[in-house]
């Protein structure tokens, strides 16, 4: 089976001049029609955490994510229809050294995490980043302890990236940020922001040793966030929505803080929300750090 390519070569030829991508070779190449193909079976293992850990690779699904990771891809599986729609993305992937394979829509579904795949799934290497790699120069870190929801994790990575964090640190027992749902929720930030995974809770003390203040996010804390000097190097430490922070993580922090919740009566109504969800809390606190570090103040840090 080969790709139907009427008009494709002619339309792409001029724009692809000088590129390493040979559209003619791709449209004439055999299409993988079985999920039992060795390349497909190897890639499918990356849907599981063990497979990602063993191979040091993860899956990248859809044109938006693939375009974000295009210079990092080692392999790209794409349907014939998507070849017609994304010639220039294929050119960029090929120029970066990616191996491109065409597959049937049925085979692509064996790799995809979504119900309706968008025509392509790539394979990219996991960037290995240690705590030591980021701690010496970091002014702003987001630390996740026991966060288990991949959608939350991906959203937090996206938020941390947007708020100017230097890295996101995942304490051992947290979700894998390279889970397909987390990758999708990060909308590309997973490819750009350093992610430190598998950190022992005891290692959080090294952040304080490096000069960062560690702030534990705790809805029951007595210290409000706006009373803390966030202009100094800061690590925001968050626990999972159900269990919260571990005792080891709390002990590593210099102070626990809460986000003030509006309770003032307004037009006959007073707020009744007890707290924010995790992703919203990270957004509020992360942008508070961003603002404070952009416009330093003279606040004195509270005592624990």
- Give me the pLDDT at residue 14, please: 46
182 contacts: CB under 8 Å, gap ≥ 6:
150, 151, 153, 154, 157, 175, 176, 190
Q: Are residues 171 and 140 part of one domain?
A: yes
- Predicted TM-score of the model (pTM): 0.87
Q: Are residues 284 and 135 part of one domain?
A: yes
Q: Are residues 230 and 189 part of one domain?
A: yes
Q: Are residues 278 and 171 part of one domain?
A: yes
Q: Does some domain include residue 3?
A: no
Q: Are residues 25 and 154 part of one domain?
A: no
> 65: which DSSP letter?
H
Whether the CB-CB separation of 26 and 8 falls below 8 Å is answered with no
- The SS3 of residue 186 is coil
Q: What value does the mean pLDDT of the chain take? A: 90
Q: Are strands 57-61 and 99-102 parallel, antiparallel or unpaired?
A: unpaired
Q: Are residues 268 and 136 part of one domain?
A: yes
Instruction: Please state, in angstroms and as integers, the Cα–Cα distance from residue 184 to each residue in 30, 72, 123, 179, 188, following that order.
Output: 29, 16, 14, 9, 8
Q: Are residues 136 and 265 part of one domain?
A: yes
Measure the CA dihedral 37/186/53/120, to 10°.
Answer: 10
Q: Are residues 152 and 119 part of one domain?
A: no
Q: How confident is the model at residue 17 (pLDDT cuts 50, 70, 90)?
A: low
Q: Are residues 215 and 109 part of one domain?
A: no
275 contacts: CB under 8 Å, gap ≥ 6:
219, 259, 261, 281
d(CA 66, CA 71): 9
**108 CB-contact burial (10 Å; exposed 0-12 / middle 13-18 / buried 19+):** buried
Q: Are residues 227 and 171 part of one domain?
A: yes
Instruction: Domain of residue 104: give its range.
Output: 8-125
Whether the CB-CB separation of 276 and 284 falls below 8 Å is answered with yes
pLDDT > 90 in the chain, percent: 79
Q: Are residues 81 and 221 part of one domain?
A: no
Q: Does some domain include residue 139?
A: yes
d(CA 122, CA 101): 10
Which of 91, 125, 159 represents a domain boundary (last residue)? Answer: 125
Q: Does some domain include residue 301?
A: no
Q: Does some domain include residue 198?
A: yes
Which of 86, 110, 125 represents a domain boundary (last residue)? Answer: 125
Q: Are residues 142 and 45 part of one domain?
A: no
Q: Does some domain include residue 277?
A: yes
Q: Is 25 left (phi over 0), alpha (psi -120 to 50) or beta?
A: alpha
Domain count of the fold of the chain? 2
Q: What is the CATH number of the domain that holds 198?
A: 3.40.1280.10
pLDDT digits (tens, 9 = 90+) for 44-84: 999 999 999 999 999 999 999 999 999 999 999 999 999 98
Whether the CB-CB separation of 95 and 147 falls below 8 Å is answered with no
């Amino acid at each position: 089976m080969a790709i139907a390519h009427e008009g494709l070569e002619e339309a792409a030829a001029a724009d692809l001049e000088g590129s390493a991508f040979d559209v003619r070779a791709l449209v004439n190449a055999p299409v993988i029609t079985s999920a039992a193909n060795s390349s497909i079976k190897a890639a499918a293992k990356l849907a599981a955490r063990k497979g990602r850990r063993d191979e040091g690779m993860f899956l990248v699904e859809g044109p938006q994510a693939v375009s974000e990771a295009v210079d990092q891809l080692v392999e790209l599986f794409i349907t014939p229809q998507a070849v017609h729609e994304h010639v220039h993305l294929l050119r960029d992937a090929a120029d970066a050294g990616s191996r491109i394979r065409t597959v049937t829509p049925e085979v692509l579904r064996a790799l995809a995490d979504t119900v309706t795949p968008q025509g392509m799934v790539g394979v990219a290497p996991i960037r290995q980043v240690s705590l030591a790699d980021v701690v010496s120069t970091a002014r702003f870190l987001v630390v996740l302890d026991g966060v288990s929801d991949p959608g939350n994790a991906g959203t937090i990575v996206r938020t941390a990236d947007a708020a100017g964090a230097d890295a996101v640190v995942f304490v051992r027992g947290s979700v894998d940020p390279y889970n397909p749902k987390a990758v999708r929720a990060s909308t590309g930030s997973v490819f750009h922001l350093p992610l430190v995974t598998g950190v022992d809770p005891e290692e959080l003390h090294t952040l304080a040793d490096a000069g960062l203040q560690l702030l534990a996010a705790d809805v029951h804390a007595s210290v409000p966030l706006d009373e803390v000097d966030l202009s100094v190097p800061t690590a925001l430490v968050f626990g999972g929505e159900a269990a919260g922070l571990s005792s080891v993580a709390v002990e590593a922090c210099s102070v626990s803080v809460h986000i003030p919740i509006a309770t003032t009566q307004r037009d006959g109504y007073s707020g009744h929300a007890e707290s924010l969800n995790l992703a919203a809390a990270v957004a509020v606190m992360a942008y508070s750090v961003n603002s404070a570090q952009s416009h330093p103040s003279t606040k004195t840090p509270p005592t624990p």
